[in-house]
Amino acid sequence: MKLKTGISYNMDALCFLNIMTADEMYVAKHKEAFDKWYPQLSDEIKLKMRNVVAARGNAMLSPIITLFISSLGDFNSRNLIELLGSFQEIESSMDKNSLSF
Domain enclosing residue 53, as ranges: 24-60
Cα(75)–Cα(59) distance, integer angstroms: 23
Cα(93)–Cα(8) distance, integer angstroms: 19
Output the pLDDT for position 25: 93
Output the pLDDT for position 84: 76
- Residue 32 located in a structural domain: yes
- Residue 87 located in a structural domain: yes
Output the pLDDT for position 87: 75
**Among 5, 9, 37, CA closest to 21:** 37
Output the pLDDT for position 74: 81
Entry pTM: 0.69
pLDDT means per 10 residues in the chain (101 residues)? Answer: 79 89 94 96 91 87 79 81 78 68 49
What total number of domains does the chain contain?
2
Longest dimension (CA), the chain: 44
